[in-house]
Structure 1
């Protein structure tokens, strides 16, 4: 991201923000509420267009590309707000994303099993989304984001609404994602 600027109602809420994320690197956007973290994040993921500045994935400029096209180029996204489908099981949540990328039911099951194992969701695989604890919900959301096999994952306040014990689990998981080769952008307070 290079020189990102966003203006709302003649007020610069983001003023010249630049950052890079390499594979196997964790970058944090930290600051108090109202500092422009989420707006910068939204510009990085393609939810909001910058008024000035440019966004790149590798050497390719993606400033005007929408979120779904950035996802196809290897950018995964985890929203701050809960995003599991509450009436679907953990497996159904994960396989719903996989079905958009793969057609073979055996391949979908193999990949969902691998994500369930990797994210330690085995004990809650058949539970509905609305029954999950904050930490289980976050792990399910991360599994869904990983289902697209991104090179980079952007996590908007991944510890929000999560109990202190689950925070440590998610920190460990983020370290594992880095070891797996992903570049990671995190916003937090």
Structure 2
């Protein structure tokens, strides 16, 4: 797993010394040790640089190709919508809109509550 996620060089480092992207890759690798059927990621794109965002996106896409179900919660809409099959907009504790990326981008409710009228991918 260390090689698969490009973190073999940090194997002996403590977590406190890792960058945000290294921490994300390590977290995902650790969660795969138990061979889960569902991987839940809470804000995997938060606090990491654009290169690390891309790396994490590629890891998620590759895990999906292997048949792993993945659920992501994140405020980074562009990064998340670009890699998901389906998305849910939760507002004040309720699902207000759901569908494909294209549906949510064009949905008037999604635009009014969260995306804004000028949102573009």
State how far apart, in whole Å, the 2-side matches of 1:165 and 1:116 are. 19
Encode CA deviations 1:30-77: one digit per residue, 9 max, x unaligned.
xxxxxxxxxxxxxxxxxxxxxxxxxxxxxxxxxxxxxxxxxxxxxxxx
More helix by share: 2
Q: Secondary structure at the match of 1:185?
A: strand
- What is the alpha-carbon root mean square deviation over aligned residues? 0.8
Task: Report the TM-score, using the length of structure 2 for normalisation.
Answer: 0.60
State how far apart, in whole Å, the 2-side matches of 1:122 and 1:141 are. 14
- Of structures 1 and 2, the one scoring higher in RCO (CA 8 A, sep 6+) is 1
Residues paired across the two proteins, number: 75
Q: Secondary structure at the match of 1:184?
A: strand
Task: Within 5 Å, give how 1:38-187 maps onto structure 2.
Answer: 115-187=1-73
State how far apart, in whole Å, the 1-side matches of 2:42 and 2:14 are. 23
User: What's the CA shift for 1:124?
Assistant: 0.9
Larger Rg: 1 or 2?
1
Misfit runs of 4+, over 6 Å: none
Could you list the runs of 5+ residues in structure 1 that have no partner in the other structure? 1-114
Task: Report the TM-score, using the length of structure 1 for normalisation.
Answer: 0.39
